[in-house]
Amino acid sequence: MTIERTPDLLRKEGKYGQALSALKQIRTKRDLRSSELVLAAELYSLTGDVGAALETAQDLLKRHELTGPQKAAMHAVTARSCFRKGLHADGQLNFKAAINAADRAEDAALACALEVQLFQNEVHWLGPHQTTSNIATVDRKSTRLNSS
């Protein structure tokens, strides 16, 4: 008996290309669910397909059925894609939108992770002296997380 490898499981195993192939196979049989499209956008981003990641994430952000964490994830995909395309201001705005979505969903761990990602992208693409993120805020939030 073999265990079916779902796209989500393949992603968790770091098999991004196989996960995308599995999603494409599912797409031939039926329309993908929102959660599967969110996964596809993340996989496009992880595999370097900036155009597909950006298009999928922006299309999903127009939908009303996304959960708070899914909205945060799609803003983060959009942000990373913008940074990669040299659209740094748009990248910063989308990371801030992702952080706000995580805060509204009361997902403090996700909000902290997104703050760190914003800082990493700013340092990588803009240099250490042009960051807008506040590491002290991340430190306070993460300290609260660890104490609760």
What pTM, to 2 d.p., does this model score?
A: 0.89
- pLDDT tens profile 9-33: 999 999 999 999 999 999 999 999 9
For residue 130 the two structure tokens come to 């042009």
The rounded distance, in Å, linking the Cα atoms of 119 and 128 is: 9
Q: Is the pLDDT score of 70 beyond 60?
A: yes
Task: Give me the DSSP letters along 89-113.
Answer: HHHHHHHHHHHHHHHHTT-HHHHHH
For residue 127 the two structure tokens come to 């240099």
- Kindly calculate the radius of gyration of the chain based on its CA atoms and give it in whole angstroms: 16
**Which pLDDT score is estimated for 148?**
65
